[in-house]
């Protein structure tokens, strides 16, 4: 399994502040998915990035896939308490290793204080 | 509301009990997954079914026995579990085609072994 290093592990910020979560690897991924998991629920897919250098925006969330498809970042602008949760990045290996096994990062627990 | 339904939401069982976890989806997905997740950690893949056939078993102990009776249902039969098996068990589904396909997760079954 390819290793995805996610940082930071924990992040506690005040409402209105910005935050960035990073996922890095020495391996190339054919795509990278970002999930958010709230307490008592399963992970919910936020976005999939596929093309190197791709930037996707989802309201206050901005996702970027590195040019070499080895890293990704999630930036949240003006965070709100509803953004609180466990953020997970997950990489899909390129063919011929495309065998349903996502490589998950360790997760970032984000707490936004009101 | 999640499109992948898992029952029960909570389960407490003794080490000698036999129980089953159930998962159902009606999105027409032909790939289904079982994951185990500990608190504030990423999900760990256990099993993958593709077209109702077991395609991946991540060296899971035989006290966990998966079953896919049809394209909409996935079961996980439990017997003689250990306290360290206490965790959140997540079911997911996706289109077939490998790990590039986004996975849709249920809200999980919180399992406690006494």
CB B23 within 8 A of CB B75: yes
* Closest chain B CA to residue A43: B105
Do the chains contact at A42 and B2, CB–CB below 8 Å? yes
Interface check for A58 against chain B (CB to CB < 8 A): the answer is: no
Do the chains contact at A42 and B99, CB–CB below 8 Å? no
Give residue-wise pLDDT tens across range B70-79. Answer: 999 999 999 9
Query: How big is chain B by its Cα radius of gyration, in Å?
Result: 13
Smallest CA–CA separation between A101 and chain B, in Å?
6
Give residue-wise pLDDT tens across range A28-52. Answer: 999 999 999 998 899 999 999 999 9
Do the chains contact at A50 and B100, CB–CB below 8 Å? yes
Please give the structure tokens belonging to residue A69: 């498809």
* Closest chain B CA to residue A9: B40
- Chain A residues within 8 A of B104 when measuring between CB atoms: 45
pLDDT at A6: 96
Q: How far apart are CA A61 and CA A38, in angstroms?
A: 16
In three-state form (DSSP H/G/I as H, E/B as E, the rest C), the secondary structure along B12-53 is EECCCCEEEEEEEECCCCCEEEEEEECCCCCCEEEEEEECCE
Q: Which residues of chain B have pLDDT under 70?
A: 1-2
- Chain B residues within 8 A of A35 when measuring between CB atoms: 105
Interface check for A57 against chain B (CB to CB < 8 A): the answer is: no
Give residue-wise pLDDT tens across range A67-105. Answer: 999 999 999 999 999 999 999 999 988 877 657 888 899
Do the chains contact at B43 and A104, CB–CB below 8 Å? yes
Identify the H or E element spanning B8. none
Give residue-wise pLDDT tens across range B89-108. Answer: 999 999 987 788 889 999 99
The SS3 assignment for B57 reads strand
């Amino acid at each position: 399994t390819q290793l995805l290093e996610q940082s930071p592990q924990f992040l506690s910020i005040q409402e209105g502040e910005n935050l960035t979560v990073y996922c890095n690897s020495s391996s190339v991924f054919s795509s990278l998915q970002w999930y958010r998991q709230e307490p008592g629920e399963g992970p919910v897919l936020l976005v999939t990035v596929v093309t190197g250098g791709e930037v996707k925006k989802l309201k206050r969330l901005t996702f970027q896939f590195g040019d070499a498809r080895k890293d990704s970042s999630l930036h949240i602008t003006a965070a709100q308490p509803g953004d609180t949760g466990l953020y997970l990045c997950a990489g899909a290996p390129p063919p011929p290793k495309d065998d349903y096994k996502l490589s998950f990062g360790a997760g970032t627990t984000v707490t936004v204080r009101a | 509301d999640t499109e992948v339904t898992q029952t029960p939401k909570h389960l407490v069982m003794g080490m000698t009990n036999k129980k089953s976890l159930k998962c159902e989806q009606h999105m027409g997905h032909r790939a289904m997954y079982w994951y185990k997740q500990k608190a504030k950690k990423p999900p760990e893949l256990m099993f993958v079914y593709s077209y109702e056939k077991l395609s991946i078993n991540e060296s899971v102990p035989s006290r966990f026995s998966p079953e896919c009776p049809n394209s909409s249902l996935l079961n996980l039969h439990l017997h003689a579990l250990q306290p360290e098996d206490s965790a959140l068990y997540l079911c997911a589904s996706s289109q077939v085609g490998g790990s590039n396909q986004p996975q849709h997760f249920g809200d999980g079954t919180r399992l406690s072994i006494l």
